[in-house]
Every structure is written in structure tokens, then in C-alpha cells.
Amino acid sequence: MELQCGPYTLEGYSRSTVETYVKVQELNISFDVGKCPMNLVHIPQVFITHFHGDHSLGMTYYIAHRNLAKLETGKIYIPAAAEKDAHQLIRCQAMLEGARRDYELIPVEPGMEVTFRRNTVMRMFATDHRIPSVGYQVVETRYKLKPEFHDLPQQELVQLKKSGVEIVQPTQLPLMTYVGDSTIKVFDWHPEIMDSEVLITECTFLTDEHYEEAAKRKHIHIKDLVPWLPHIRSRYIVLMHFSMRYTHQEIRYWVNHWIPEEYRERVLLLL
Ligand SMILES: [Zn+2]
Ligand SMILES: [Zn+2]
């Protein structure tokens, strides 16, 4: 499905245990690859949160199809702890097909950041899940005129710049955050994610009967998300990764049930 979040078009699918990927058209990236539908193959950079199959198994398909189409090697970011096994997985699959693969895995760890496009970095943060996992935050640096130069005419500004005076200062804008699989602890550990313009987070479980299940499987229950809502400054809060136990109708019903009315307008569902 497609969701419009301000300037960003999210194209994706997300249901727990089936498949999760979120392509951001304007940034030309994908968070997770799911089973890698054909419309992900041309995306040059993918950011995998963890190696549960529903988030990552399409990686081999992504590599194979880019090779087939003679596209340049895509950049696949993965949790560093999974690097060795991920190489093995790719090599075994290539061996089974009797094929040669060109690919690039970039291991990442919480606390790291990589520049993935002009003036824009991806920051990795730890999430709390059953296997090594990371979340991703897109931060753009914009350069704004320093306040002391606001009233100067254009010509003078040009002169100052020419003479080597630094007339601009950088500001950092957290554009988007993607929390793959995690418990609610991620909000406590990384309050900065709540400043993102778009916050995409898993919200697997919705009903009281599944409250313990959420803790056991290390996922978020919507009941635990509600107390965080007053602290979330994001214009768009995208919930995803709902359990297959619920129909679309039930998901809408329970989200409405738990999310207080004042927040509902900012909450979108990625199904
Ligand atoms: Zn998952
Ligand atoms: Zn998982």
C-alpha cells in the first residue's frame, strides 16, 4: 500500500511473520526488504533491521535480480552481528543456483552513522528484540543564514562569503525514523526518535489477551505505546507489523479503541 506523509511517499507492506518492507520513494531507499517484490530491485540502498525472514529473506532475491539486470551492486546495510551468517546465506543460495553474485553488505552497529545521500545521514540505534537488531533514523543537515546576517543585503552577504566569513550554520533535521521489531523499551532508550517528522514503528499486538505474548515475543503492544504519545512530536506516526491474528477491520477497530482521539489524526496504518 502507499501512504503519503508530507513530502514522503511510503510504499510498502507489513504484517508480522509474513513480510515487512517500507520503500521511501523520495529518498530512494527501503527499510527492510521483506520477500523483495520486483519494485524494490531498482532501489540502490536497503537498510535491514534484523534477520527474521519476514524482514530480510528477500535479500538474496534482491541481489540475484540486480545481478541479472546488470544494475550496479546495491548497498545492503545489516546488523554487524549477522554479517558472517548473512554472507553464508548469500553464498549458499548462489551455490544452489550455480551462480556468481556481486553484492555489498555493510555491517552497522548502534551509535554509527553513514552518509547515504547529500547532506543526509542514517543513524543506527539499538532496538530490543530476540535477535540482534537495529533501528534507523534519517537526519538531514540544512544550512541556514546565521541570525546576525539576517538584515544584510544580498550583495554584502556575497562579499562576506567571498572574504571567507562563515555566514551559514548547520541545523540537523530528523526526517524519519524506522523501528523494525522491538519492545517499547526503544522509546525509553532513544527519546530522539520521537523528534522525527515521520515515525514508523512496529505495533504488533492490539488486544488484552495478547499482552503477555507481546512481552514474550519482544514486540510492542499498543497499550504500551499510548503513554508515549504525549512525548512524540512527529507529524506522522505510522504503525505497522500487526499480527496476522487480526483482520484489517479489527486492526482499525483496536487502534481507534486505544489511541485517544486527539492523536488519531496523526496516526497512519501501514498494512
Ligand atoms: Zn517482524
Ligand atoms: Zn523480528
Predicted confidence (pLDDT) per residue in 130-185, tens digit: 999 999 999 999 999 999 999 999 999 999 999 999 999 999 999 999 999 999 99
Give residue 93 CA to ligand 1 midpoint distance, Å: 22
Q: Which domain holds residue 129?
A: 2-269
Q: How far is the CA of 163 from the centre of ligand 1 (A)?
A: 54
Q: Which ligand sits nearest to residue 51's alpha carbon?
A: 2
CATH code at position 142: 3.60.15.10
Tally of domains within the chain: 1
**By percentage, how much of the chain surpasses pLDDT 90?**
99
Q: How far, in Å, from the CA of 16 to the mean position of ligand 2?
A: 8
CA of 118 to the centre of ligand 2 (A): 31
d(CA 22, CA 58): 13
The Cα–Cα gap between 148 and 190 comes to 34
CA distance 119 to 93: 36
SS3 letters for 223-237? Answer: HHHHHHHHHCCCCEE
Mean of the pLDDT values across residues 202-217?
A: 97
- State pTM to two decimals: 0.94
Gap between the Cα atoms of 59 and 132, Å rounded: 17
Q: Which amino acid is it at 153?
A: P
pLDDT in tens, 111-133: 999 999 999 999 999 999 999 99
Whole-number pLDDT of residue 140 = 97
